[in-house]
Amino acid sequence: MRLVPREQPGPAFVLAVSALAVLLAFAASLVLLALYGASPVEALRVVYQGVLADPRGFAEVLRRAVPLTLAGAGLALAFRAQFWNIGAEGQLLLGAVAASGVALFGPGEGITKLFLMGLAAFVAGGLWAALPAYLKGRLSVNDVITTLMLNYVAIYLVEWLIHGPWKGRSVFGFAYTDRFPASAWLPTWPGTALAWPGVLLAVAFAVFFAWLLFATRLGFEIRVVGENPEAARYAGIRALSTLFWVALLSGGVAGLAGFVEVAGTHHRLLAPLQISLGYGYTAIIVAWLGRNHPLTTLLTGLLIGFVFAAGDVAKVALATPFQLVQVVNGLILFFLIAAEVPIRYRIVWGSDRG
Amino acid sequence: MKRVGLAVLLLLGMLAMAEGKLKAGWIYVGPIGDYGWTHAHDVGRKEAEKAFPWLKTLYVESVPEGQVGSYIDQMVRQGVRVIFATSFGYMDGVLEAAKRYPNVIFAHATGFKRAPNVATYMADFYQVYYLNGLMAGALTKSGKVGYVGAFPIPEVKRHINAFTLGVRAVNPKAKVLVRWIYEWYNPAAAKEATEALIAEGADVFAFTEDSPTVVQVAAEKHLPSFSHYSPMLKFAPDYVVSGQLVHWGAIYKDFLAKVYAGLYTPKNLKDVDYWWLLPQKAVELGADYGVPVNPKFIPALKAKKIHHPVFGEISVYDLVMKLKAMMSDVELAFDPFQGPIKDRKGHLRVPAGVRLTQAQLESMEWAVEGVTGPWPNEPK
């Protein structure tokens, strides 16, 4: 048996293999559940009833999908330019910080206030990503390391703010800010906890990024810089400025995800782990699963959002351990990476001499 | 065919019985396998389920504070009628859900906002901390007692104050050195803080953190300590003197029995606030159940005699036992926060003959004399 590289696998084939990988990951999760003592049939029933057949449950899928898709679409853009942004988590937190700052201390009322919060979040997240992009473009500093490390800086920034200068006066000494004024809350869909403007933002940016990437000059430059830096230089593309725009947009949408979380769900700035549930890291799976196409992240964001929501249901109804969601996400990533082999290679039976 | 019919009937009967049970759900902020807060609540849940055949319980662990609403939705959908939310940070989420589900009963641990269908509850340690302080004061040779604190919130401050009052009742010149780690669970930070306190000369330790780290680090240096929350005697049998233990089950059983009996309804909980102490057996003195003082330390505590304003010449061991008995009585003939008490800036905080109210205890931000180290939000 040997592996022969494929010529250009077609999109239908890639989709089929990826879907199979996800199905296998779900099957493996059910096996794990069975080993834990929960019946897989019962698990499917509970998830169907609690998530898919119930409007409130489905709203929970969307609520998780919004930050995942926002950050994921941005990462798709970044990865296209070979800007290895592992820092969406930190960019999301910076967005949450900026949005909270405007909510608590900034000007504006009603829609103006929300707009200013979103804008501040976008700029803060974008600049947080632009810093490692600059270091990469100017000094060739490894972007995986810098974007990752800046996540920790962001975490400690949030911790400092909620323990120090922004600690609320009405929170009995606990480490939160005060609640945002009601004008800084995103409206929710009646009967659910879903801040629906987040859905609009996620769809709008996924579409915008796809258009940008495939129908504009900047998009063309992004793809050339990513696929062939030498050719880019030859064509006179200024890699540094391309990288800057990619970072600003990619970090910016992650920042928006932070804005949606604090303005839509929490209504205050609180401990970093409570704000994001690791959306910034999970968004890497979203982008990757979507083959770095901004439009596909709409689907893959929904899928991972479903994993989160289904995990919540299983935790309550089947008393599964809390790590289940991470395990399922890990399995999806595992099977996807394994799927790279059949996507890129054909398996040929028989010896290579034959 | 008949047999199948019978089996179906039996199954339906069992289902009906299950339907007749009262379903209660617990929402935990941490994993049930931690060595502190969540574990202790889960022990209480199991105790309640074992005690009442009419009770069926559900739980969900590691629920982030901002997400509590959606987990409440899940529980209600599972038929849960009583929900215990066990973290302060769930407060606003619980109150919003309570409006959404006016027929579900909620109980929120450590909170202060109530509603017709939201009660609050707390098992507090301040009396036990005072007793531990008495023993720490007797055992310190350097006159410096170390305290590793989680967060500088009123609850932890109240406990450190009670502990320090105990220390100083035995050893008026002793100091309690405080270090904050800003986490409920962080063994690495607890270790660092303990070592720093040892370097500063502290030779007896108490703490608020959900792991036995402080006990273990102190024991490595052969120094005595007081365990926190769960039984930790087994981690250093020669060095753990005593500590504080919780019995959430006492509150859970009382609350659920009253729901089942129809005493508590979703309409009348506005003023239901459990503030349970030693008399209600919600808390216990000791590093293991039924062992108030490690026998290895009894001789030393008996040998240390002090002059007490009420009891005259008395050994610290006898004093601990006497005050424990007094504080375990509903009459509460003794309370650690009885005036006169000055804060460390010299202001009189509790006038002579006055005791602090529960509200004053719950919002305590000042530090008693003898506490040294940083104290965020200290009033001027």
How far off is chain A from B313, nearest CA to CA, in Å?
A: 41
pLDDT, tens digit, for every residue of A192-213? 889 999 999 999 999 999 999 9
**B51: containing domain:** 2-113+248-276
Instruction: Decide if B377 is inside a domain.
Output: no
Interface touch B67/A277, C-beta < 8 Å: yes
Mutate to test the interface with A, among B67, B157, B182, B185 (most CBs of A within 10 A): B67
- Which residue among B276, B292, B321 closes a domain? B276
State which residue of chain B sits closest to A168, comparing Cα positions. B377
pLDDT, tens digit, for every residue of A135-149? 998 898 999 999 999
pLDDT, tens digit, for every residue of B88-120? 889 989 999 999 999 999 999 988 899 999 999
- Give the pLDDT of residue A352: 58
- Which residue among B222, B257, B276 closes a domain? B276
Instruction: Decide if A176 is inside a domain.
Output: yes
CATH code where residue A246 lies: 1.10.3470
Contacts of B64 in chain A (CB under 8 A): 273-274, 277
Do residue B108 and residue B6 come from a single domain? yes
Residue B235 in tokens: 């981690």
Which of the residue ranges A279-288, A290-299, A318-327, B366-375 would you say has the lowest mean pLDDT?
Answer: A318-327
Instruction: Decide if B358 is inside a domain.
Output: yes
Instruction: Decide if B120 is inside a domain.
Output: no
pTM: 0.83
The half-sphere exposure of B78 on its side-chain side, counting CA atoms within 13 A, is: 30
Do residue B93 and residue B194 come from a single domain? no
Instruction: Decide if A347 is inside a domain.
Output: no
Interface touch A172/B363, C-beta < 8 Å: yes
**A134: containing domain:** 39-319
Whether the predicted pLDDT of B339 surpasses 60: yes
Number of domain units in chain A: 1
Angle of CA points A277, B102, A186, to nearest 5°:
40
CATH code where residue B256 lies: 3.40.50.2300
Q: Which helix (H) or strand (E) holds B359?
A: helix B358-362
- Give the pLDDT of residue A353: 55
Contacts of B362 in chain A (CB under 8 A): 172
- Give the pLDDT of residue A330: 84
Do residue B28 and residue B78 come from a single domain? yes
How far off is chain B from A156, nearest CA to CA, in Å?
A: 12
Task: Work out how many CB contacts closer than 8 A connect A with B.
Answer: 77
> A193, A166, A177: which is closest to A274 by C-alpha?
A177
The burial class, CB within 10 Å (0-12 / 13-18 / 19+), for A333 is middle
pLDDT, tens digit, for every residue of B5-45? 445 444 444 444 455 799 999 999 888 887 788 999 999 99
Instruction: Decide if B26 is inside a domain.
Output: yes
- Residue whose entry in the numeric block shows the structure tokens 């509970």: A46
Categorize the per-residue pLDDT at A319 as very low, low, confident or very high, splitting at 50, 70 and 90. confident
Of A50, A267, A274, the CB nearest to B74: A50
Q: Could you tell me if A308 and A116 are in contact, meaning their C-beta atoms sit under 8 angstroms apart?
A: no
Number of domain units in chain B: 2
- Give the pLDDT of residue B19: 58
- Which residue among B260, B276, B292 closes a domain? B276
Contacts of A277 in chain B (CB under 8 A): 64, 67
Cβ atoms < 10 Å from Cβ of B94: 25
Q: Could you tell me if A264 and A198 are in contact, meaning their C-beta atoms sit under 8 angstroms apart?
A: yes
Whether the predicted pLDDT of B55 surpasses 70: yes
Do residue B24 and residue B144 come from a single domain? no
> B96, B38, B108, B88: which is closest to B69 by C-alpha?
B96
Residue A152 in tokens: 């920790």
Of B66, B157, B377, the CB nearest to A265: B66
Instruction: Decide if B272 is inside a domain.
Output: yes
Q: How far apart are CA A62 and CA A148, in angstroms?
A: 27
Instruction: Decide if B118 is inside a domain.
Output: no
Interface touch B377/A265, C-beta < 8 Å: no
ipTM of the complex, rounded to two decimals: 0.77
Instruction: Decide if A6 is inside a domain.
Output: no
User: Does B266 contact A at CB distance below 8 Å?
Assistant: no
A-side interface with B, Cβ within 8 Å? Answer: 50, 54, 56, 60, 63, 159, 163, 172-176, 179, 193, 261, 265-267, 270-271, 273-275, 277, 312-313, 315-317, 319, 321-322
Of B75, B78, B152, the CB nearest to A173: B152
The burial class, CB within 10 Å (0-12 / 13-18 / 19+), for B267 is exposed
Categorize the per-residue pLDDT at A312 as very low, low, confident or very high, splitting at 50, 70 and 90. confident
Instruction: Decide if B379 is inside a domain.
Output: no
Do residue B271 and residue B301 come from a single domain? no
Long-range own/partner contacts, residues A216-224 (CB < 8 A, 24 or more apart): A218/A242, A218/A245, A222/A77, A222/A80, A222/A81, A222/A246, A223/A80, A223/A81
The DSSP string of A270-289 is --HHHHHTTHHHHHHHHHHH
Q: How far apart are CA B226 and CA B242, in angstroms?
A: 5
